Structure 1
Amino acid sequence: MYNILIVDDEPLICRGLASLLEVSGLNIQHVYTAHNGYEALDYLKIENIDLLITDIQMGAMSGIELMQQAKIFKPWVQVIVISAHETFQYAQLAIRLGARDYLIKPLNSDQLLHSVRNVLLNMDRPVQDHSELISDLREHFHMEQPQPTRANILNQLVQQGRIETTAEALLLEQQNGIELKGPYYAMIKIRMDLDASNKSAIRDEKDVQLLQYAMLNIVNELLDKEWKHYSFYSSDRDISIIIQWEEAEYGDSSVDKMNQLEMVGRSLHFNIVKFLGLQSVVGISQILKGREFIPELNNQVDKAIVWNREHTDHHVFYFGDFKWELITEDPSEEDIATQNNLIVEQAQQFINANYAQKGLTLNEIAQKNHVSPNYLSYLFKKNTGINLWEYVIKLRMEESKRLILKSDLRRYEISEKVGYESPEHFSKIFKKYFGISPSEMKK
């Protein structure tokens, strides 16, 4: 049974879509509705949402921004976008962020149900037994590395101290389908971890190659439509990805590129686990301008991956999350703990001072601490034992309880003071947290 969240700033559309899905006969447990992105985020943080259906234009927070936030909290959440405008830029961003469909208003009931049905059916696909998986891979995939000459050129490119830009070198790249025009570049590296996957018994090199080939197929399936990239084997356990943006592409986006890369990293990790039952570690570089910095990007992803040794229960690492200037070549456990504790303490201080701010997001909290939302969420839960947004809600609820019991403020005034967009949404969260409504507590 699946939970679906519908988000639209037009209440009639929300109710209509909810009613349609509730009588559709699909395997749906509950349909939630929200009228803006901030309400939707609370549902995503406190309910087990499987599918998000969101409008694209909703005032303070767009559907694109909501998708971005949702994927930070739960990269497995599936998304269908609805819009009154057939705008290419919006559609492109939505697909890049992992939307499964982009539907244009006015919605056709059959079209919506068909889209939802397809998403739910794909979510039902189980991870195969390892022996069955290897058998299928042997049957359907060739053993040879795809485009080995191109992979060799790219490996030389990322490993050498300086980038060859001679006419001969550029011609060789062009002949092998490589066009690195940038000028902005980033890298992602995925390292399969057989031990963490309980597949340490796999020692047949051919089976390892099959798994690597399957990983490469997942990479290309996820990235080929919207990302200008080159993916290639960089060792017998690694797949490297070079991503590039032209000047106009890099500046023409409402979504931060680093957040996009982090979501790509988390999606890659999630899908490799989902479809291969294979654990991996993902390293993400910064974005640098200039082809000559590609070897440095490779160095960054390698350094980022090393942090899995310290955080074995975390799998996606961004180079920029770590204060390298404060870390020696071989940091002690105490050095690492000190840095991590400082990040969490600063986050708590910021939340304590700003929890009542309307529209407060994980992105904003992370930016104030100069770390990625993904890493902050992980560290906060690890150090405090509580989810970061649960901590925000706890502060809001305790303050609202105090105001209900100690003041004569009305419900809408209290809702305003603790950071909620509407009294109705505040009441829903309050009742879920305390088990009674604000008016019942007042009595």
Structure 2
Amino acid sequence: MYNILIVDDEPLICRGLASLLETSGLNIQHIYTAHNGYEALDYLKMENIDLLITDIQMGAMSGIELMQQAKIIKPWVQVIVISAHETFQYAQLAIRLGARDYLIKPINSEQLLNSVRHVLLHMDRPALDQAELISDLREHFRMEQPMPRRTEILNELLEQGQPGKDPDRIHIERENDIRLSGPYLAMVKIRLDFNSGAKSPIVQEKDARLLQYAVLNIVSELLDKEWDHHSFYSQSQDVSIVVQWDEAGYGDSSADKVNQLEMIGRSLHFNIHKFLGFQCVVGISQILKGREFLPELNDQVNKAIVWNREHKDHHVFYFGDFKWGSFGEDPSEEDLVAQNNLIVERAHEYIHANFAQKGLTLNEVAQKNHVSPNYLSYLFKKNTGTNLWEYVIKLRMEESKRLIQNTDLRRYEISERVGYESPEHFSKIFKKYFGISPSEMKK
């Protein structure tokens, strides 16, 4: 059974959609409602939300911002966007961020139910075990890499400047055979480990190619149409993706590009593991301007992937999270531990100073520490044993308990002081945390 979160700043719409879904007969366990993005983030961090249905314009935090934050917290969360605006730009960005549908208000009941039904059925799709998967791929797919000439050229571009490479010939073939205009480019590389599943057989080389083909199909499903990219085989068990933006696309500041790339990386890892049954490591480069930097981007993703040796339980790495310039040579294990401890220590200090701030997000804590939300969240949990946002809630609840027991402040005043937008939402979080309401604790 599934949990659904409905977010709209109009309470009547939230109640109407919740009532419609409650009587739909769909396989739904709980329906939560929130009236702004910050309330929604608390539910996403505290509950097992499977489907997010969100309005796109909600004051302090838009539905687009909420989607970005949701995908950082739980990359597998499915999203349906509802909007009073039939604006192509909004729809395009929502789909690019992974929305499964974009519905225009006033909402047609049957249309919404069909959309929700489709999303839940897609989530129900069972994963084949690896032997069944390979058998299915053998039956339906050729082993050859799609567009092998393009793959050859792209791999040559990644190695441009190395001994034996003719840059003039590569330049001519690049212009004739592939559309790589940029000028802003980034790379995502997926390093596959076909034998990492609990029941995985030893995969033969010919079957490894079939599995790579299946990975390319997952990449295509996640990125096609909404992302300007090239995906291709590189090295023995890698799939590489070159993402590009033109000047107009890169200049659009409505979404943080690095966060989007990390969202892609986490979604790729999740879907490959879920549907193909083996692990992978994803490396993400910085964004550089100019095709001549493709070899540098390739070097960055390879270096990012290397960090999996230090963090075996983490699978998505952004090159910019690691302070390569801080070390004259390859960092020692002691250097890495010291660097990671410093990141967590600074995050601790920032959270203690700002936990009562309204609208505090994981993204903000990460930005203040010059590290990605994905890596900060992982490090914080690894070093402290506590989820970062659970730690924020703990500080808020302990402070609210102190204020209830030692002051005459009213509920709405305490709610304000510990960072919540509404007293009602504060009371829900308080009761979930302590098991009793604020008024019961006061007595």
Partner residue of 2:9?
9
SS in 2 for 1:181: coil
Amino acid at match of 2:407: S
Q: CA deviation at 1:200?
A: 6.3
- How far apart in 1 are the matches of 2:173 and 2:351? 53
Partner residue of 2:131?
131
- Summarize the alignment of residues 264-275 of structure 1 with structure 2, pairs less than 5 Å apart: 264-275=264-275
- How far apart in 1 are the matches of 2:130 and 2:66? 36
- Summarize the alignment of residues 221-260 of structure 1 with structure 2, pairs less than 5 Å apart: 221-260=221-260
- Residue-by-residue CA offset, 1:301-321 (whole Å, 9 max, x unaligned): 000000000001000000000
Partner residue of 1:362?
362
Amino acid at match of 2:44: L
Tell whether the 8 Å contact from 1:282 to 1:315 is kept in structure 2 after alignment. yes
Partner residue of 1:173?
174
Q: CA deviation at 1:148?
A: 1.3
Tell whether the 8 Å contact from 1:202 to 1:208 is kept in structure 2 after alignment. no
- How far apart in 2 are the matches of 1:129 and 1:407? 59
Partner residue of 1:27?
27
Partner residue of 1:151?
151
- How far apart in 1 are the matches of 2:317 and 2:134? 28
- Residue-by-residue CA offset, 1:45-88 (whole Å, 9 max, x unaligned): 00110000000000000000000000001001000000000111
Amino acid at match of 1:305: I
CA RMSD of aligned residues (A): 1.3
Which stretch of the first structure deviates more once superposed, 369-378 or 202-211?
202-211
Tell whether the 8 Å contact from 2:227 to 2:243 is kept in structure 1 after alignment. yes
SS in 2 for 1:103: strand
Partner residue of 1:102?
102
- Residue-by-residue CA offset, 1:361-417 (whole Å, 9 max, x unaligned): 000000000000000000000000010000000000000000000000000000000
- How far apart in 2 are the matches of 1:323 and 1:235? 26
Partner residue of 1:352?
352
- How far apart in 1 are the matches of 2:166 and 2:268? 31
Q: CA deviation at 1:269?
A: 0.8
Partner residue of 2:437?
437
Partner residue of 1:122?
122
Which stretch of the first structure deviates more once superposed, 220-229 or 69-78?
220-229
Amino acid at match of 2:222: L
Tell whether the 8 Å contact from 1:283 to 1:302 is kept in structure 2 after alignment. yes
- Summarize the alignment of residues 190-205 of structure 1 with structure 2, pairs less than 5 Å apart: 190-198=190-198, 201-205=201-205
Partner residue of 1:85?
85
Structure 1 159/169 Cα, relative in aligned 2: closer, same or farther at 3 Å?
closer
Tell whether the 8 Å contact from 2:130 to 2:200 is kept in structure 1 after alignment. no
- Residue-by-residue CA offset, 1:88-124 (whole Å, 9 max, x unaligned): 1111111111000000000000000000000001111
Amino acid at match of 2:61: M
- How far apart in 1 are the matches of 2:198 and 2:30? 35
- How far apart in 2 are the matches of 1:357 and 1:155? 48
Partner residue of 1:378?
378
Partner residue of 1:161?
161
Which stretch of the first structure deviates more once superposed, 34-43 or 142-151?
142-151
- How far apart in 1 are the matches of 2:56 and 2:309? 40
Amino acid at match of 2:176: Q
- How far apart in 1 are the matches of 2:413 and 2:145? 64
- How far apart in 1 are the matches of 2:156 and 2:137? 29
Amino acid at match of 2:100: R
Residue segments in structure 2 that go unaligned for 5+ positions in a row: none
The answer on 1:42 being equivalent to 2:42 is yes
Partner residue of 2:324?
324
Tell whether the 8 Å contact from 1:191 to 1:239 is kept in structure 2 after alignment. yes
Structure 1 169/131 Cα, relative in aligned 2: closer, same or farther at 3 Å?
closer
- How far apart in 1 are the matches of 2:428 and 2:327? 46
SS in 2 for 1:280: strand
Q: CA deviation at 1:195?
A: 4.0
Partner residue of 2:279?
279
Q: CA deviation at 1:201?
A: 3.9
Q: CA deviation at 1:175?
A: 3.4
SS in 1 for 2:250: helix
SS in 2 for 1:137: helix
Q: CA deviation at 1:171?
A: 3.9
- Residue-by-residue CA offset, 1:128-183 (whole Å, 9 max, x unaligned): 111111100101110112111111110010112289774x644422432x122111
SS in 1 for 2:377: helix
Structure 1 392/192 Cα, relative in aligned 2: closer, same or farther at 3 Å?
same
Q: CA deviation at 1:325?
A: 1.3
Q: CA deviation at 1:197?
A: 2.7
- How far apart in 1 are the matches of 2:431 and 2:4? 20
Tell whether the 8 Å contact from 1:400 to 1:414 is kept in structure 2 after alignment. yes
Tell whether the 8 Å contact from 2:156 to 2:170 is kept in structure 1 after alignment. no
- How far apart in 1 are the matches of 2:167 and 2:13? 56
Amino acid at match of 1:173: R
Partner residue of 1:306?
306
Amino acid at match of 1:19: S
Q: CA deviation at 1:335?
A: 1.1
The answer on 1:403 being equivalent to 2:403 is yes
Amino acid at match of 2:312: T
Tell whether the 8 Å contact from 2:127 to 2:275 is kept in structure 1 after alignment. yes
Amino acid at match of 1:38: Y
Which stretch of the first structure deviates more once superposed, 195-204 or 42-51?
195-204
Tell whether the 8 Å contact from 1:96 to 1:226 is kept in structure 2 after alignment. yes
Tell whether the 8 Å contact from 1:209 to 1:236 is kept in structure 2 after alignment. no
- How far apart in 1 are the matches of 2:425 and 2:167? 58
Partner residue of 1:215?
215
- How far apart in 1 are the matches of 2:430 and 2:303? 44
Tell whether the 8 Å contact from 1:190 to 1:281 is kept in structure 2 after alignment. yes
